[in-house]
């Protein structure tokens, strides 16, 4: 006979499992699950030995099934079985044989295995075309992880959020596991974990770089796809979420019965103490349950029709994400799930912002076939939410559906990944740019995309590489993807890499090619860090990390993807250490000079009578560019940033002045003579950065003189005039 437990009415609020003192000060846990279409809901409690006790929740308030169970303490594992009609033709996929993860579970214990038992339908049904319509009655409980009751007992009074202004931000995209797995200064037992990222050795690298925020690849609880497990691979990136409140348990060094929650919070505190913000890459556009042939893990079994966008043929899912399903964000309970999750990570887990994967999918209206709507319920709710409107919000402004490309279209509260910046910079340095007009916009903040509705230059997150695609080193070493290790016959990953291998595909011993590749790395990084907008670095690019040409390493949880820290200490090649030092210098320079991190767009006009234009562009002849120059084939561009009159004030409203800089970008294979603009722009120039590695004599050059700019290089010069401030 199954064991029974008493259950009291409890409360429909809040959703999830919350431990507290109930009636008569009895300790226990309140359970609440939104399941509007269900006929019955069973709470399943699991003892440490796996023994299951089922408790029927009989209270139903406003579509929420709820009950208080005395004696259920923090650390207790649980799940749900939800009863309803099996009718896939109308979207009904209830199956009480499948144990379901609570969407509000704040900790998850165990990993998903994907035998046939975990599927709501008969995955191994011989007639494949109708397999998803046949219900599978095998119990899935032994093969799925369970939610864990977590106690609320953390005090954040000692935490100090950095609150770095957007204009001052430098983002570093990293993977918790990949960043720490090979770090020699992190104890082996902490590598690959939140505690590893909190370790002083990991934080020291971030501090030395000078980045202001880490953007963590997904840390919501996620599942591995069946097609990967069949090939003995795993989902490494984590874009396959199934628990929007739970930190991924596999990244915990301290335990998975709730201990991962405290470990994550301690990581956030450690990063905050170093002045570093924590931004989460979040995946609210789809879940790990996939399409109609996917497993039944949570939302599908709770109320499939209510949580997912379905086609007119309700057996099938509307897929605007390329991952099999799309959450129906327009529905109030789905919108609540997402916003409750976001607020939880801010208020209880301490994070400082979010990067939304495929954010355009969240902006699709009730009819998903319509283009994304920037007045959609999700964007409207975020804009008025007193918690969410105050944190950093970054959109990946596209999805895979019709009209899904929305770069520049998100409302003023949002910052966006700017892939047009990525493409323009890659094209320029590989010699494929048809003209300079697009590059000029990207270098100066992309005003053509963002100068509307009160948006600022920091609406653009500038990047050359990210987790998805080639690493920076591979970008200059490969022209074709090499994804064979992914087991998809090299068919996965983009073919539009906009890369150049410098004359040889892959690694080589040719010293000339290697020298050119190192220079191209310096050029790309210097361009990124001297551009207006928010720069984003991908972890390891500052020291030459390679993935061997794999541009879609989502399933490579191994040394292909992990940061190789030995590059910084290679006794036979100090070029990677030199690259790292250059990045540190450029970020420090950016931090010192407000003209490099403007809060308002350039106007191209003087800010006061008799002043200089705040932005000017020059040809190699030393003359200002004309309209025709922008659209002619050219490989050299001079950008003058005036710091004399910056159109922004300090916190007291006082006028800000700064040094002025001339940035020369030269992408041709031969050197070029560049005439340095004379008065009123400058009387002389001081060379600060030369990516060719060459030495200039003298270091201070006279205005009006022609300086030789080495082939394929960036030259950064400080303009010196009688009114110039001190040295850079």
Give the pLDDT score at 583.
Answer: 98
* 360: pLDDT strictly greater than 80: yes
Give the pLDDT score at 607.
Answer: 75
Please name the residue that has the structure tokens 């948006």.
455
User: How much is the CA Rg of the chain, to the nearest whole Å?
Assistant: 28
Q: Which strand (E) or helix (H) includes residue 82?
A: strand 77-83
pLDDT tens digits, 546-605: 999 999 999 999 999 999 999 999 888 899 999 999 999 999 999 999 999 999 999 988
Phi and psi at 596, nearest 5°, equal: -90, -5
pLDDT tens digits, 479-509: 999 999 999 999 999 999 999 999 999 999 9
Note whether 498 and 427 are within 8 A (CB): yes
Phi and psi at 382, nearest 5°, equal: -60, -40
Separation CA 417–CA 463 (nearest Å): 8
Phi and psi at 581, nearest 5°, equal: -65, -35
pLDDT tens digits, 226-252: 999 999 999 999 999 999 999 999 999
Q: What's the whole-number mean pLDDT along residues 92-106?
A: 98
Please name the residue that has the structure tokens 């000029």.
440
Give the pLDDT score at 369.
Answer: 72
Q: Which three-class secondary structure state does DSSP give residue 147? A: strand
Give the pLDDT score at 531.
Answer: 98
Instruction: Give 171's contacts (C-beta < 8 A, 6+ positions apart).
Output: 211, 212, 213, 214, 215, 279, 461, 534, 535, 536, 537
What Å distances lie between residue 141 and 45, 57, 79, 83, 562, CA to CA?
Answer: 11, 19, 9, 15, 33
Give the pLDDT score at 5.
Answer: 86
Neighbour count for residue 631 (Cβ, 10 Å): 12
Instruction: Give 282's contacts (C-beta < 8 A, 6+ positions apart).
Output: 218, 220, 241, 244, 341, 342, 354, 355, 356, 357
Separation CA 70–CA 382 (nearest Å): 37
**Residue 21 in tokens:** 């003192």
Give the pLDDT score at 695.
Answer: 54
Give the pLDDT score at 724.
Answer: 57
Phi and psi at 156, nearest 5°, equal: -95, 15
Separation CA 613–CA 654 (nearest Å): 20
**Residue 446 in tokens:** 């992309």
Active site residue 509: no
Short-list 281, 265, 243, 329, CA closest to 16: 243
Separation CA 653–CA 565 (nearest Å): 44
* 648: pLDDT strictly greater than 80: no
pLDDT band at 313 (very low <50, low <70, confident <90, very high): very high
Please name the residue that has the structure tokens 């209830």.
94
Please name the residue that has the structure tokens 């939410």.
385
Q: Which strand (E) or helix (H) includes residue 16?
A: strand 16-21
Active site residue 572: no
Which residues pair with residue 534 across a beta bridge?
Answer: 461
Instruction: Give 351's contacts (C-beta < 8 A, 6+ positions apart).
Output: 268, 278, 279, 280, 345, 391
Note whether 460 and 485 are within 8 A (CB): no
3-state helix, strand, coil in the chain (%, to 5): 25, 20, 50
Note whether 108 and 100 are within 8 A (CB): no
Separation CA 173–CA 219 (nearest Å): 13
Give the pLDDT score at 3.
Answer: 64
Separation CA 287–CA 304 (nearest Å): 12
* 137: pLDDT strictly greater than 90: yes
Short-list 22, 108, 8, 3, CA closest to 66: 8
Separation CA 717–CA 687 (nearest Å): 4
Give the pLDDT score at 332.
Answer: 96
Instruction: Give 480's contacts (C-beta < 8 A, 6+ positions apart).
Output: 497, 505, 549
Give the pLDDT score at 656.
Answer: 85
Q: What's the whole-number mean pLDDT along residues 460-488?
A: 98
Short-list 687, 642, 680, CA closest to 661: 642
* 728: pLDDT strictly greater than 90: no
pLDDT band at 723 (very low <50, low <70, confident <90, very high): low
**Residue 200 in tokens:** 């002083």
Q: Which three-class secondary structure state does DSSP give residue 495? A: coil
pLDDT tens digits, 169-222: 999 999 999 999 999 999 999 999 999 999 999 999 999 999 999 999 999 999
Separation CA 68–CA 17 (nearest Å): 9
Give the pLDDT score at 368.
Answer: 66
Short-list 479, 583, 551, 476, CA closest to 520: 476
Give the pLDDT score at 408.
Answer: 96
Please name the residue that has the structure tokens 């890459």.
281
Give the pLDDT score at 654.
Answer: 83
* 697: pLDDT strictly greater than 60: no
Q: Which of 357, 416, 542, 614 is catalytic?
A: 357
* 721: pLDDT strictly greater than 90: no
Residue % of the chain over a pLDDT of 90: 89
Pairing state between β 660-666 and 713-720: antiparallel
Q: Which strand (E) or helix (H) includes residue 680?
A: none
Q: What's the whole-number mean pLDDT along residues 673-685?
A: 96
Separation CA 132–CA 144 (nearest Å): 20
Per-chain mean pLDDT for the chain = 95
Give the pLDDT score at 1.
Answer: 36
Q: Which of 226, 319, 396, 399 is catalytic?
A: 396
């Amino acid at each position: 006979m199954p064991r029974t437990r008493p259950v009291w009415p409890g409360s429909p609020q809040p959703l999830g499992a919350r431990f507290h003192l109930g009636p008569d000060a009895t300790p226990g846990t309140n359970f609440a699950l939104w399941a509007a279409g269900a006929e019955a809901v069973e709470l399943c409690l699991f003892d440490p030995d796996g023994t299951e006790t089922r408790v029927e929740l009989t209270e139903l308030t406003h579509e929420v099934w709820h009950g208080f169970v005395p004696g259920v303490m923090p650390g207790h594992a649980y799940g749900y079985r939800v009863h309803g009609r099996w009718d896939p033709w109308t979207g009904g996929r209830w199956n009480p044989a499948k144990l379901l993860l609570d969407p509000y579970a704040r900790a998850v214990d165990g990993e998903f295995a994907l035998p046939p038992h975990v599927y709501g339908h008969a995955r191994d049904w011989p007639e494949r075309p109708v397999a998803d319509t046949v219900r599978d009655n095998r119990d899935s409980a032994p093969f799925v992880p369970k939610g864990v009751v977590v106690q609320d007992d953390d005090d954040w009074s000692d935490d100090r959020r950095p609150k770095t202004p957007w204009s001052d931000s430098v983002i570093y995209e990293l993977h918790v596991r990949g960043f720490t797995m090979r770090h020699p200064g992190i104890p082996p037992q902490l590598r690959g974990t939140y505690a590893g990222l909190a370790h002083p050795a990991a934080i020291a690298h971030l501090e030395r770089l000078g980045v202001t925020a880490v953007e963590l690849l997904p840390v919501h609880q996620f599942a591995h796809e069946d097609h990967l497990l069949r090939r003995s691979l795993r989902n490494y990136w984590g874009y396959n979420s199934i628990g929007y409140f739970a930190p991924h348990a596999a990244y915990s060094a301290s335990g998975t019965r709730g201990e991962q929650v405290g470990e994550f919070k301690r990581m956030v505190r450690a990063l905050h103490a170093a002045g570093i913000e924590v931004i989460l890459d979040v995946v609210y556009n789809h879940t790990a349950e996939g399409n109609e042939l996917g497993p039944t893990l949570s939302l599908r079994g709770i109320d499939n029709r209510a949580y997912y966008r379905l086609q007119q043929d309700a057996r099938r899912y509307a897929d605007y994400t390329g991952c099999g399903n799309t959450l129906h964000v327009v529905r109030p309970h789905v919108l609540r799930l997402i916003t409750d999750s976001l607020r939880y990570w801010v208020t209880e887990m301490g994070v400082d912002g979010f990067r939304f994967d495929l954010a355009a999918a969240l902006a699709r209206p009730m009819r998903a076939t319509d283009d994304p709507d920037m007045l959609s319920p999700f964007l409207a709710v975020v804009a008025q939410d007193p918690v969410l409107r105050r944190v950093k919000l970054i959109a990946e402004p596209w999805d895979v559906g019709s009209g899904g490309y929305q770069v520049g279209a998100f409302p003023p509260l949002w910052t966006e990944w700017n892939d047009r910046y990525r493409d323009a910079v890659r094209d320029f340095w590989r010699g494929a740019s048809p003209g300079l007009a697009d590059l000029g916009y990207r270098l100066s903040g992309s005003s053509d995309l963002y100068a509307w509705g009160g948006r600022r230059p920091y609406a653009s997150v500038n990047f050359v590489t990210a987790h998805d695609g080639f690493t920076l080193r591979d970008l200059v070493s490969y022209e074709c993807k090499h994804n064979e290790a992914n087991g998809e016959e090299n068919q996965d990953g983009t073919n539009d890499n906009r890369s150049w291998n410098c004359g040889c595909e892959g690694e080589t011993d040719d010293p000339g090619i290697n020298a050119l590749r190192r220079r191209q790395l310096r050029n790309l990084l210097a361009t990124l860090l001297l551009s207006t907008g928010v720069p984003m670095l991908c972890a390891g690019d500052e020291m030459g990390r390679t993935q061997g040409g794999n541009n879609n390493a989502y399933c490579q949880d191994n040394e292909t993807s992990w940061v190789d820290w030995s590059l910084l200490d290679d006794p036979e090649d100090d070029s990677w250490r030199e690259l790292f030092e250059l990045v540190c210098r450029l970020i420090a320079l950016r931090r010192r000079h407000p003209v490099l991190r403007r809060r308002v767009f350039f106007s191209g006009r003087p800010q006061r009578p008799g002043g200089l234009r705040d932005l000017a562009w020059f040809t190699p002849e030393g003359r200002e560019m004309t309209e025709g120059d922008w659209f002619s084939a050219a490989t050299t561009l001079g950008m003058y940033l005036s710091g004399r009159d910056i159109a922004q004030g300090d916190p007291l409203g006082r006028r800000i002045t700064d040094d002025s800089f001339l940035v020369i970008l030269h992408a041709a294979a031969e050197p070029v003579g560049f005439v340095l603009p004379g008065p009123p722009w400058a009387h002389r120039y001081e060379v600060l950065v030369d990516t060719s590695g060459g030495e200039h004599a003298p270091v201070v050059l006279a205005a009006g003189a022609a300086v030789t700019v080495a082939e394929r290089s960036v030259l950064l010069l400080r303009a010196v005039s009688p009114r110039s401030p001190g040295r850079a």
